[in-house]
Amino acid sequence: MAEKIKADIVVINPGSTSTKISLFKDNEEIFTENFSHKIEDLARFNKASDQDLYRMDIIVRGLREKNVDLSQIKAVVGRGGLIRPIEGGTYIVNDEMVADLKKGVMGDHPSNCGGLIAYAISKSLGCEAFIVDPVVVDEMAPIAKISGMPLVQRKSIFHALNQKAVAREVANRLNKSYADINVIIAHMGGGITVGCHVRGRVIDVNNGLDGDGPFSPERSGAVPIGDLIKGCFSGEYTLSEMKKLVKGHGGMVAYLGTNDMRVVEERINEGDQKAKLVFEAMAYQIAKEIGAMSTVIDGKVDAIVLTGGMANSKKLVDLIKTRVEFIAPVYNFPGEQEMKALALGALRVLNGEEKAKSYHFE
């Protein structure tokens, strides 16, 4: 009989039509598997959060088929969903969080299943369930939330998991702790968020979900508000169409018809001047946002970090670096290691390096 696989941590990251899981022994990944779900199977659920037990059953069956020794699991950690705004860290999944994930207090999204699945599996195994640095992490300073219009408050919705993970990596390179450095991090993916991390807290960041900050491959970023209002009331667009112009059909895809950076760079190499201009404008806006964030901390920046999928583009990284390296040294961490970041969040608690936080609201 094959020897059982021994692991400490199960990591769960639900997507719209798949659920990715990874097993970790200490900080080493043992294996990763992505379980695909048929659209017709998911269609029978009213909400994404209602899919938790369906997805859990598939995961548990998959772990048993891999001959995983479930008795050795110390923690199950799920991708944090749309819960109430909280400070960063590793949180125990408790009954109050489960209720908010089920209700979708900040919206219904497949990631809500992450904490729910972790909770259900942990109960059957008698171990801990955690989430780590969800997108709703809110550590913004009160002054940063003032927009100029009382009707609208600036919100903290960003790539918290990856930003905080790479912040810790660059702190290690500087032989310091995350709590001792000031770092500006630009996560560059389908959305772009630029966060100002001050001694372990993200005191300012653009809302990369709803059209704040630089434009991205498929999001408009901040645009002149007067012209946007005229567009809204022109009668030419529905509410749904305007939302898509901001997110999904905005940014690079609106100008060039593609959100694929590789295609854009190929067009630039073939002499496409419009592609070159739009590409350079995106780099310009990212650099400008980094520069703006440096003023938040009076220029006292220990490092600037470029991360996310677009950080794989040397052309983009070089354009940004040229404009901002006078502020601080620039580090590049391409991609995003979400599974490892989730595992490390749980591991810090298991090793006693951090204390797990409690999710509770009056």
Question: What is the mean predicted confidence (pLDDT) over 187-206?
Answer: 96
Amino acid 322: pLDDT:
98
Instruction: Compute the distance between CA of residue 66 and CA of residue 4 in angstroms, rounded to an integer.
Output: 8
Single pTM value for the model: 0.90
Amino acid 211: pLDDT:
75
Under 8 Å between Cβ of 194 and 212: no
Q: Which pLDDT band holds residue 3 (cuts at 50, 70, 90)?
A: confident
Amino acid 109: pLDDT:
86
340 three-class SS: helix
Class of domain 9-138+339-358: alpha beta
142 three-class SS: helix
Q: Can you give the residue ranges of every domain in the chain?
A: 9-138+339-358, 160-335
pLDDT in tens, 33-76: 999 898 899 999 999 999 999 999 999 998 888 888 888 999 99
Question: What is the mean predicted confidence (pLDDT) over 264-279?
Answer: 98
Please say if the pLDDT value at position 2 is more than 70: no
Average pLDDT over the chain, rounded to whole?
Answer: 94
Amino acid 26: pLDDT:
87
Please say if the pLDDT value at position 122 is more than 60: yes
Q: Which residues, listed in sequence order, are joined to residue 355 by a DSSP beta bridge?
A: none
Class of domain 160-335: alpha beta
Distances (CA, A) of 60 to 19, 40, 57, 125, 141: 12, 21, 5, 11, 42
pLDDT in tens, 226-242: 999 999 999 999 999 99
**What's the token pair of residue 152?**
């609208």
Residue 201 dihedral angles phi and psi, to the nearest 5°: -130, 140
Please say if the pLDDT value at position 1 is more than 60: no
Domain 160-335 in the same topology as domain 9-138+339-358? yes
Under 8 Å between Cβ of 87 and 179: no
pLDDT in tens, 297-332: 999 999 999 999 999 999 999 999 999 999 999 999
Distances (CA, A) of 118 to 74, 206, 256, 303, 332: 12, 30, 41, 35, 32
Amino acid 5: pLDDT:
81
Q: Which pLDDT band holds residue 84 (cuts at 50, 70, 90)?
A: very high
